[in-house]
Amino acid sequence: MKQSINDPKSYRAISLANGLRVVVCHNPTSKMSAAALAVNVGHFSDPEDKQGLAHFVEHMLFLGTTKYPDGSEYQKYIASHGGSNNAWTATEHTCFFFEINADVLAPALDRFAQFFISPVLAQEFVEKERKNVDAEFKLKLKDDIRRVYDVHKETINQSHPFAKFSVGNIDTLADKPNDPIRDHVVAFVDEHYCAPFMTLAIEGPQSLDELAQYADEYFSDIKTTTKSKEPLSEPLYLDENKGIKIDIQPVRDDTQLVLSFPMENTLPFYESKPDALLAYLLGYEGEGSVLSYLREKQWALSLSAGAGVSGENFKDFNINISLTDKGEENIRAIVGAVFSYINLLHKTPIEAHHFADKQAIANISFNYKERLKPLASVSQIVMNMHYYPEQDYLYGDYAMEYFDKDAYNHLLGYLSADNVRIAHISKSVVADQQSKWYEVPFKVTKIEQQDLKLLSEIAPLDRFHLPSKNPYTIVSPELVENTHPDKVLLPKISQQSDGLTVWFKQDQTFKTPKGFIYIGIDSPLCVESPKNIALTRLFVDLFLYSVAEEFYDAELAGMSYGVFSHQAGISLQVSGFSEKQHILLEKLLIRLKQPQFQAESFELIKHQMLITWANARRSKSMSQLFSLLSSYLQPANPHADELYEALLETPFEAFVAFSAKLLDAISVQALIHGNWQQQDANKISDIIKHQLGDAMADDNEVDPKHVLLAGKGQINIPLLLPEHDNGTIVYYPMADKSPLYTALCMLVSQLLAPLFFEEMRTEKQLGYLVGVGFVPIHQYPGIAFYIQSPHTNAESLLAEMNTFIFNAKSILAQLSEQEWQNLKNGLAGQLLEKATSMRIQSQRFWAAICNKDLQFNQKALLIDALQHISIEQTASFIDQHLIADHQPDRLALLSYKIAEEMNEMPKSGRIVKTAEELKAL
* CATH assignment at residue 165: 3.30.830.10
Residue 487 pLDDT class (50, 70, 90 cuts) = low
pLDDT value of residue 73: 92
Distance of CA 656 to the CA centre of its chain: 34
Q: How far apart are CA 634 and CA 412, in angstroms?
A: 52
Q: How far apart are CA 64 and CA 34, in angstroms?
A: 21
Q: In Å, what is the CA distance from 368 to each residue of 357, 361, 837?
A: 16, 10, 10
Q: Look over the chain and give the mean of its residue pLDDT values, rounded to a whole number.
A: 94
- pTM > 0.85: yes or no: yes
**pLDDT exceeds 60 at position 486:** no
Q: Do 903 and 774 have their domain in common?
A: yes
Q: Do 501 and 546 have their domain in common?
A: yes
Backbone angles phi, psi at 110, to 5 degrees: -60, -45
Query: Contact at 8 Å (CB) between 519 and 670?
Result: yes
Q: Do 550 and 679 have their domain in common?
A: yes
pLDDT value of residue 905: 76
pLDDT value of residue 485: 60
pLDDT value of residue 900: 80
Apex CA 871: angle with CA 866 and CA 877, to 5°? 80
State the DSSP code for 251. S
19 occurs within a structural domain: yes
Q: How far apart are CA 45 and CA 621, in angstroms?
A: 33
Domain termination site, one of 700, 735, 763? 700
State the DSSP code for 420. -
Domain termination site, one of 434, 457, 480? 457
**What's the average model confidence in pLDDT over 789-815?**
92
- Name residues whose C-beta falls within 8 Å of residue 65's C-beta, 6 or more positions apart in sequence: 111, 114, 115, 117, 118, 119, 120
pLDDT value of residue 484: 67
pLDDT value of residue 843: 96
173 occurs within a structural domain: yes
5 occurs within a structural domain: no
The DSSP string of 527-558 is GSSHHHHHHHHHHHHHHHHHHTTTTHHHHHTT
Residue 592 pLDDT class (50, 70, 90 cuts) = very high
Alpha helical stretches, state H, 758-793: none
Query: Phi/psi class of residue 287: alpha, beta or left (left: φ > 0; alpha: ψ in -120 to 50)?
Result: beta
Amino acid code (one letter) for 614: A
Range of the domain at 827: 714-920
Amino acid code (one letter) for 154: E
pLDDT value of residue 671: 98
Q: Do 562 and 440 have their domain in common?
A: no
Q: How far apart are CA 649 and CA 671, in angstroms?
A: 38
617 occurs within a structural domain: yes
State the DSSP code for 762. I
Q: Do 541 and 685 have their domain in common?
A: yes
226 occurs within a structural domain: no
376 occurs within a structural domain: no
User: pLDDT tens across 555-580, in order?
Assistant: 988 899 999 999 999 999 999 999 99
Alpha helical stretches, state H, 715-765: 739-757
Residue 906 pLDDT class (50, 70, 90 cuts) = confident
Q: Do 48 and 188 have their domain in common?
A: yes
Residue 316: name the closest of 220, 437, 415 by CA: 415
228 occurs within a structural domain: no
pLDDT value of residue 463: 95
User: pLDDT tens across 44-54, in order?
Assistant: 999 999 999 99
Q: Do 870 and 816 have their domain in common?
A: yes
pLDDT value of residue 768: 87
Q: Do 284 and 199 have their domain in common?
A: no
Pairing, β 714-720 against β 244-248:
unpaired
Q: How far apart are CA 658 and CA 606, in angstroms?
A: 14
Residue 680 pLDDT class (50, 70, 90 cuts) = very high
Looking at the structure of the chain, the number of domains it has is: 4
Backbone angles phi, psi at 483, to 5 degrees: -95, 5
Give the percent of the chain with pLDDT over 90.
86
The DSSP string of 708-722 is --TT--EEEEEEE-T
Q: How far apart are CA 381 and CA 394, in angstroms?
A: 7
Q: Do 431 and 562 have their domain in common?
A: no
Q: How far apart are CA 118 and CA 63, in angstroms?
A: 11
Query: Contact at 8 Å (CB) between 809 and 883?
Result: yes
pLDDT value of residue 887: 86
User: pLDDT tens across 623-640, in order?
Assistant: 999 999 999 999 999 999
User: pLDDT tens across 681-701, in order?
Assistant: 999 999 999 999 889 999 999
Q: Do 605 and 696 have their domain in common?
A: yes
The DSSP string of 136-168 is HHHHTTT-HHHHHHHHHHHTS-TTSGGGS-SS-
Q: Do 671 and 532 have their domain in common?
A: yes
**pLDDT exceeds 80 at position 903:** no
**What's the average model confidence in pLDDT over 703-724?**
91
- Beta strands of 59-192 (E only): which ranges? 84-89, 94-101
Q: Do 695 and 718 have their domain in common?
A: no
Pairing, β 441-446 against β 433-434:
antiparallel
374 occurs within a structural domain: no
**What's the average model confidence in pLDDT over 12-31?**
97
Query: Contact at 8 Å (CB) between 331 and 299?
Result: no
Domain termination site, one of 170, 191, 220? 220
- 3-class SS at 392? helix
